[in-house]
Amino acid sequence: MSFVRACGLSELAEDTPKRVELDGTPVSVVRTEGEVFAIYDICSHANVSLSEGEVEDCQIECWLHGSAFDLRTGKPSGLPATRPVPVYPVKIEGDDVLVSLTQES
């Protein structure tokens, strides 16, 4: 699995998504509940950036229609979204937040 630097850990405020672009892929990086998560930044229901939404209870909410996605699995917890969005492995090295866009098989 290949990891790339997404941002600095010190750049992440608790429960505040940060949008980054990694190899042309929009990713929302979120620090919450003592962990850091990376999730595809586009809602599966509408072409809306999830990083503009709110984070609560390890979920990120799409600001447009209110669908929330689990930061651990990418699964939606309510309508109108019915399809999950990809989540990506994260590791921390010093102040660097590293994300892999390669899914484990």
Percent of the chain with pLDDT over 70: 97
Q: Please write the tens of the pLDDT for every residue from 21-67.
A: 999 999 999 999 999 999 999 999 998 999 999 999 999 999 999 99
pLDDT score at 75: 97
- In this model, does residue 104 exceed pLDDT 70? no
pLDDT score at 102: 82
> Of 32, 38, 82, 87, whose CA–CA distance to 57 is shortest?
32
Asked whether 38 and 28 are in contact (CB, 8 A), the reply is yes
Domains of the chain: 12-92 (2.102.10.10)
